[in-house]
Amino acid sequence: MTTRYTKDHEWIRIDGDFAVVGITAYAAEQLGDVVFVELPEIGKTLSQGDEMAVVESVKAASEVYAPASGEIVAVNDALEGTPAMVNEAPDGEGWFVKLKLSDPSQLDAMMDDAAYKAHTS
């Protein structure tokens, strides 16, 4: 299962017919303690780069952008009750949405692990 990254610190990982999206550990660390997550509606169609969610931390509010185009097929409802999961497991249980991708080739232009590490160092 390959993970790709955007310059805005979102990650996207193909999982079967869908793609799981979240923010990176680097982004979660920069935000500080997350206190609220606003997730989109299931069924919403997003274009690459559209605002997908909003994360509020003790430091600031920040938008999360769709790394690829597609339809939202699931949201991580657990974040509404436990937004700290974004800090505790940003690349796992702290995921935001699952997308049915409309153009999987968009992932080809994104960074892999090594390129993202270089981008953040």
Domain boundaries, the chain: 3-103
C-alpha–C-alpha distance, residues 89 and 121, integer Å? 21
pLDDT of res. 15: 86
**Digit-coded pLDDT (tens) for 49-102:** 999 999 999 988 999 999 999 999 999 999 999 999 999 999 999 999 999 999
Q: How crowded is residue 112: how many other Cβ atoms within 10 Å of its Cβ?
A: 11
pLDDT interval class at 17 (50, 70, 90): confident
pLDDT interval class at 1 (50, 70, 90): low
Whether the pLDDT of residue 6 is over 70: the answer is yes
Specify the 3-state DSSP secondary structure of 85.
Answer: helix
Output the pTM of the full model: 0.94
Whether the pLDDT of residue 34 is over 90: the answer is yes
Q: If you count them, how many residues does the chain have?
A: 121
CATH of domain 3-103: 2.40.50.100
